[in-house]
Structures are given as C-alpha cells and as structure tokens.
Amino acid sequence: MATNYAVKEMFYSLQGEGRHSGRPAVFCRFAGCNLWSGRERDRATAACTFCDTDFVGVDSDSGGRFQDSHSLAKAIDQIWGGGGEDDRFVVLTGGEPLLQVGDELVSALHDLGFEIAVETNGTLAAPKLVDWITVSPKGAATLAQTAGNELKLVFPQANLDPASFESLAFDHFFLQPLDGSDLKSNTAAAVAYCMRHPRWHLSLQTHKLVGIP
C-alpha cells in the first residue's frame, strides 16, 4: 500500500449523497482509478464509462503529493479548520481511493479524531478500521468488498440488476440516478424501482442541486 499519496483535490463541503447526505465533511479525492484512465479517449472501452469526476493529476485545489500518512492527515485536519473539534468527518474518494488508502492513513486520521468514510467501486478490500464503507458497483467489475454500510448503485446500468446485490451484507441500499442527458428519465426509473422494491432508497446528488462542490 502507498506510503506516499497522489491527491487530486481536497475541500470542505457537505456530503451530497447517501445516508450521510447533508453532513459537513472534508473530501479527499485521490488521483487514479482501476476502472478508467480518466482520459476521454479511453472512456468507450473502460469498465466504467459514465464517471463524471476529474481524478487525473494532482493540480486542483489543495491537491498534490504527500510523502507520508501523517502529512496528508495534517493537511486534511487543516482543511477541516473551522468545523470545530466535534463530529470530524472525512470522505476518502476518487477515482478509486483504495489504490492508495491503507491502515497507516486510517490510523493517522483516527489519531486526529476523524470519523472516516470511504467511497469505493468495491473491487479492492477496504482497511478493516474504516468507519463507513460505501460501495458503488460499476459495470461487470467483480466486487472484492462485499460488505459495508451502504451499497450505492448508479442506476440504470446495462445488464446490472439491483436484485443481484441484495444478498450482500450492507446496512443500506441506495439507487442513484445516472447523471447526464437522460437524468430526468433515469430519476423516474429509480423512483419507480424503489417504490416497487422498498429495500432500496433513492439517493440524489444534492450537492449538485444546491450548487456546492
């Protein structure tokens, strides 16, 4: 696991999706993914073709290369800043954060009092001491992380049936409408599915609705 880290960006905002929607958090977006290069020329042949996130390079706000877990944890702590000492929450995302996140970073963040959430495509196993695991399956990629706190399925995806995930050991199951030109119809389809299958709840990208990062 990485002893140095490539981070695309870090920022303080509200969680926009899933069970923690509306909760203040520092977002640490790691560069790189194992399902798509991030280059448009590779999108059509990627395992994940619909990603709407820029995770290439380390050139965005508060991004960069961090030589060890303590320097990255300190940078996250500084971004939390005025959030105070209580309910410190960090979301490790990407790209695919588990290409870089391991026990050392988790321990360093816990030492600073953070509750740690990871948002992953599930193809790699998460460190055991992560506090909140969100798995978002992509295409035909095989899941290595088959248990966690929430499974958040972007919907619809071709040949991917939500029912196929219901035997997995997650506490919460969310459908999130696929963004893009068909968002309205995708949202209607997700709403209809949730109403027919009440185990699934609707997740909206509320940060986009209110215009925050």
Active site residues: 27, 33, 48, 51-53, 119, 207
Q: Which residues of 87-107 are buried (b: 16+ CB within 10 A; e: fewer)?
A: ebbbbbbbbbbbbbbeebbbe
- Name the residue with tokens 């069970």: 19
Which pairing describes strands 132-135 and 147-155: parallel, antiparallel, or unpaired? parallel
